[in-house]
Amino acid sequence: MSHLDEGQLTCLLDDELTADERRAAEAHLGACAECRRLYEEIRAFSGEADALVTAVELPRQPAAPPARSAQPTTAGTSRTPLPWRSLAWAATVILAIGLGYSMRTRPTGMAQSDIGTDKGVAEREIAPPATAPAPPESGPPAVGFTLPRPADAPPPAAPAQARSEEAATPAATPAPTALRRDNRLTELASDATAPVAGATGNLDRTPAVSTKQAPAEARSIAAPVVAFHQVAMEEAVRTLGGTIRLLDGLKPQRVLTGPGTLVPGASADLPVVRVVYDDPPGRELWLDQQRLRVAEGARTGLTASAAPLLVGDTVAAPAAQGMQSVRWMDQAGFRLALTGFLPTDSLRALLRRVE
């Protein structure tokens, strides 16, 4: 008999040979020192390798299987029971839709007379933390919500009539790092047309000025509060017609959607999907996206409130609170904006990783 190869010796070791093959192999091993040496070597490797793999055990018990039904099933009359995971998934979807609906409808459900009053704001007003910054004395009276500013951020924007489009659209206002990691469900922001500087915030954010202190004329012109709300990735994908743009190499922290009015230069009549990331220093980085209608996107990507943006164009602009924003159109009709605290050059480098 010729020498046994590694495959045969491994089969012998794993008890995968037929009785005849085993007898022949063992007979050969009894007579061949070279094959015996190889067999011992393989056996040592095998034992060590198998021990290595089987030593990797689950850190925790996986979710338990569903409880078996006590009722016997009858062929033809029973249905295949659903696995618990499917039910959990369905429940999650229903919950997400319900939450999304409730968060969307709340602001619009307020009477106009309630907006900017205690009645309208009370539900969203939360006691300010001790470190909440005071509103600038020289600034215009603010109604609604203002984010506490990062330490390095410039002061709030100039009066409403002098503001640029970027500053006038507080959807680009960042969340400060200290308040960013809570489990919030919504991000409230003022309408792009609201004449209030920095009038944006979250449920847990601090009103800059109590509405009791706001002048009557300021309250009378306050715009309805519209909101970003958190959604599942699947819902965001559906919103964008079956696909979504993501930043290669960064992990999305959460996904939000809101009306186009919340984002500078976006089409007001289309929803915006915002994918929120953390940049390397841990601050928020937003990838806003709209999928324009075929005719609109193919033509220019022109929006009602922005300069024409052609496919291939990249426009950089300062955003509120010291953020920078880079906007562009891609070939598939996506209007995108990458907004964060990073320098414009870094944002431009990052946009090449959007896919």
Partner 1 sequence: MSQVPIEELFAQFHQPLVRMLYRRTGDQDRAEDLAAEVFARALASPPENPRPWLFAVALNLVRDDGRRAVRQGRRLQLLKGESATSASPADEDYERTQKTRAVQAALAEMRDLDREVLLLKAEGFDYDEIAAATGLAKGAIGTTICRARKRLVELVRAQEKDRHVAS
- Per CB under 8 A, 7 contacts partner 1: yes
- Per CB under 8 A, 53 contacts partner 1: yes
- Per CB under 8 A, 130 contacts partner 1: no
Closer residue to partner 1 in complex, CB, 56/127:
56
Angle CA 284–286–289, to nearest 5: 170
Lay out the site mask for partner 1 across 233-252 (x = CB under 8 A, - = otherwise): -------------x-xxxx-
Candidates 46, 300, 314, 346: give the one binding partner 1 (CB under 8 A): 46
Candidates 31, 34, 62, 77: give the one binding partner 1 (CB under 8 A): 62
Structure-block tokens of residue 142: 């603010």
- CA 211 to chain centroid, in Å, comes to 32
Candidates 2, 20, 65, 280: give the one binding partner 1 (CB under 8 A): 65
Stated length of the chain: 355
- Closest alpha carbon to 337 in 240, 256, 245, 249: 245
Closer residue to partner 1 in complex, CB, 44/298:
44
With CB under 8 A, what is the number of residues at the site for partner 1?
41
Rounded to a whole number of angstroms, the minimum distance from the CB of residue 39 to partner 1 is: 11
Evaluate whether 226 touches 262 at the Cβ level (below 8 Å): yes
Rounded to a whole number of angstroms, the minimum distance from the CB of residue 54 to partner 1 is: 5
Task: Give the Cα separation of 74 and 71 in Å (integer).
Answer: 9
- Per CB under 8 A, 123 contacts partner 1: no
Amino acid at 29: L
Handedness of CA 94, 96, 98, 100 (dihedral sign): negative
- Per CB under 8 A, 40 contacts partner 1: no
User: How is 67-95 classified by DSSP, letter by letter?
Assistant: PPPSSPP-TTT-PPPPPHHHHHHHHHHHH
Rounded to a whole number of angstroms, the minimum distance from the CB of residue 52 to partner 1 is: 5
Residue 224 gets which letter from DSSP?
P
Structure-block tokens of residue 65: 């299987």
Q: CA–CA distance from 141 to each of 146, 158, 185, 320 (Å)?
A: 11, 12, 28, 18
SS3 at position 297: helix
Closer residue to partner 1 in complex, CB, 17/160:
17
Residues 70-109, interacting with partner 1 (CB under 8 A): 80-83, 85-86
Closer residue to partner 1 in complex, CB, 65/242:
65
Candidates 52, 70, 130, 151: give the one binding partner 1 (CB under 8 A): 52
Closer residue to partner 1 in complex, CB, 31/52:
52
Task: Give the Cα separation of 140 and 133 in Å (integer).
Answer: 16
Candidates 8, 186, 239, 289: give the one binding partner 1 (CB under 8 A): 8
Cα atoms found within 13 Å of the Cα of residue 265, Cβ hemisphere only: 30
Rounded to a whole number of angstroms, the minimum distance from the CB of residue 14 to partner 1 is: 7
Lay out the site mask for partner 1 across 299-318 (x = CB under 8 A, - = otherwise): --------------------
Q: CA–CA distance from 53 to each of 195, 242, 312 (Å)?
A: 63, 40, 50
Candidates 60, 74, 76, 105: give the one binding partner 1 (CB under 8 A): 60
Closer residue to partner 1 in complex, CB, 54/138:
54
Rounded to a whole number of angstroms, the minimum distance from the CB of residue 55 to partner 1 is: 6
